[in-house]
Amino acid sequence: MQELRILILEDYPPDAELAMLELEENGLEFASRVVDNEEDFLRELNEFEPQVILSDYKLPTFDGISALKLVRGKFPEKPFIFVSGTFREDFAVETLKKGATDYVLKENISKLPFAVKRALKEVEKTLKRERAEKALKNSEMQYRTTINALDDMLIVVDSRMHIILFNKTFERKKKEFGMGKALKGQNMFEALPFLPENLKQEYLRIFETGESLINEYSYSVNGVEVVEEVRRIPVFEEGKVVRVLTIIRDVTERKNSENRIKASLNEKEALLKEIHHRVKNNMQIISSLLNLQSTQVRNEDDAELFKASQDRVRSMALIHSKLYQSDDLSSINFSEYITSLAYGLLSSYDVSSSVRLNLDLEDLSLNIETAIPCGLIINELLTNSIKHAFPNDEGEIYINLRELEGDKFQLIIGDTGQGFPEDLDFQKTDTLGMQLVMSLINQIDGKIEFEKDKGSKFKIIFGKLEYEERI
């Protein structure tokens, strides 16, 4: 028997070794190659000629979706299984729509051997089906034996919807459902009354247009819930559709597995929402404690320090509040966040009636890794303008946010106030607020520019920070 060849796209060697060990312990004999970049992946894809591909979702210089596109362009049926540490429901659905065979979470790596074996069986079934379809085009006599070897059910109807052929798998399934009467020559919709009502119209459309159809159907037969993938292929004679070949695959087990995964993902999503909710509540408690403590402080400068700390905690609590309310638990609508934060600060300092707020914000989202430091930066610069820019308590603060090319963003925060003193270098000031701003700018790998143009204006260019797994 030819040895199985597996290509592994993984940038963390221990994970690749763990996957191989799991396969070996489950009796799979194979040769493998491990790569972590596009160049090596393409080379091994052509030279090693793997029969199965295991891929992480995201790597430093490459990603699983791009690898999947490359594979599907050359090898439409080759098994491609994602093995990832984190996999949200929308990512799982996206990968399956783009042609992935399956996906396995690294925390459930014990399921990998079953996924590989199932994928190989699916390939074998697909090859059998393709051979059957090719045989059908050549000669009816040649494909009779072949179609009876299929694990999928097969049935052929003519333009009157009469059953003229079905294979042994279909006949066996018919008996399992207690349908003992003969089907050949019968009208399909009379012989199989459990079929959906709209199915007849779909068959008529195939006879009219000559186009194939692929659908999934769910129905109950004798109390048994069944989910089937149905391929309907027109058969032509002299340019006219005379028969429709229907290939039916039972995907009930696969659908049940997908539903279990979806339920598990929903459970984890609910847990993550609860975590964000509790973090937000804890930060609000910290803010309240700071407020209570500040009432005991006699010195105004010390009281200001407490209020500044309270505002910083609120800016972070607002991030978790937005995440809790968001459908996407990994990112928030940052324009909505800025709006809430800015008006909250004006109200906090009781200047909302005298200081105008001019917001020009693109509708975009940032992940939590980027949103928290950006939120703190905005909090510090806005607070600075509110406290120091307007000696007469009147003026305007403006904020501009837009996305640039190359996954970069531009944030502008300015005011029409009295501006910074001429001899003050904002990058070397000894105030905690500006020191915090400069530290956070470095954290998001950003650049900051300062202009004195009828007030103060800060322009910040930054990119999204990627999530780094904590140990």
SS3 (DSSP) at 67: helix
- Residue 88 CA to chain centroid, in angstroms? 5
Domain boundary among 215, 231, 250: 250
| Residue pLDDT, tens place only, 418-456 | 877 776 666 666 676 778 788 888 888 889 888 877 788
Assess if residue 399 is contained within a domain.
yes
Structure tokens at 132: 């059957």
Phi-psi sector, 178: left (phi>0), alpha (psi -120 to 50), beta: left
Instruction: Determine contact, residues 134/115, Cβ cutoff 8 Å.
Output: no
| Residue pLDDT, tens place only, 284-297 | 666 666 666 666 66
- Which distant-in-sequence residues (6+ apart) come within 8 Å of 440 by Cβ? 373, 374, 376, 377
What sign for the dihedral angle of Cα 333, 82, 249, 258? Answer: negative
**336 and 294: one domain?**
no
**180 and 240: one domain?**
yes
Would you give the DSSP letter of residue 451? E
**228 and 266: one domain?**
no
Task: Check pLDDT > 70 for residue 177.
Answer: no
**263 and 175: one domain?**
no
Domain boundary among 272, 298, 329: 329
The separation between the first and the last C-alpha atoms of the chain, rounded to the nearest angstrom, is 43
Instruction: Determine contact, residues 404/447, Cβ cutoff 8 Å.
Output: no
**274 and 223: one domain?**
no
Assess if residue 283 is contained within a domain.
yes
Assess if residue 417 is contained within a domain.
yes
**436 and 447: one domain?**
yes
Task: Check pLDDT > 60 for residue 320.
Answer: no
CA atoms within 13 A on the CB side of 442: 6
Instruction: Determine contact, residues 323/332, Cβ cutoff 8 Å.
Output: yes
Task: Check pLDDT > 90 for residue 324.
Answer: no
Task: Check pLDDT > 90 for residue 392.
Answer: no
Instruction: Determine contact, residues 106/85, Cβ cutoff 8 Å.
Output: yes
Closest residue by Cα to residue 125 from 96, 152, 101, 156: 152
Q: What are phi and psi of 63, to 5 degrees?
A: -150, 160
CA distance linking residue 399 with residue 411, whole number of Å: 7
Radius of gyration of the chain (CA): 32
**218 and 267: one domain?**
no
What is the enclosing helix (H) or strand (E) of 249?
Answer: strand 240-250
Task: Check pLDDT > 90 for residue 33.
Answer: yes
**324 and 346: one domain?**
no
**342 and 443: one domain?**
yes
Looking at residue 216, which CATH number applies to its domain? 3.30.450.20
| Residue pLDDT, tens place only, 104-158 | 888 889 999 999 999 888 888 888 877 777 766 666 566 566 666 667 888 888 9
Q: Which of 166-180, 235-249, 308-322, 406-420 has the lowest mean pLDDT?
A: 308-322
Domain boundary among 250, 269, 284: 250
What sign for the dihedral angle of Cα 451, 454, 456, 462? Answer: negative
Domain ranges, residue 276: 254-329
Q: pLDDT band at residue 71, thresholds of 50, 70 and 90?
A: very high
Q: pLDDT band at residue 62, thresholds of 50, 70 and 90?
A: very high
**21 and 118: one domain?**
yes
Structure tokens at 5: 């060849």
DSSP track, 154-167: EEEEETT-BEEEE-
Q: pLDDT band at residue 14, thresholds of 50, 70 and 90?
A: very high
Instruction: Determine contact, residues 213/200, Cβ cutoff 8 Å.
Output: no
Quote the pLDDT of residue 318. 64
Assess if residue 136 is contained within a domain.
no
Q: What are phi and psi of 152, to 5 degrees?
A: -75, 155
Quote the pLDDT of residue 143. 59
Looking at residue 11, which CATH number applies to its domain? 3.40.50.2300
Distances (CA, A) of 404 to 336, 358, 399, 410: 19, 21, 16, 7
Quote the pLDDT of residue 45. 92
Quote the pLDDT of residue 263. 63
What is the pTM assigned to this prediction? 0.41
Assess if residue 128 is contained within a domain.
no
Q: pLDDT band at residue 251, thresholds of 50, 70 and 90?
A: confident
Task: Check pLDDT > 50 for residue 471.
Answer: no
Assess if residue 138 is contained within a domain.
no
Residues 342-368, mean pLDDT to the nearest whole number: 83
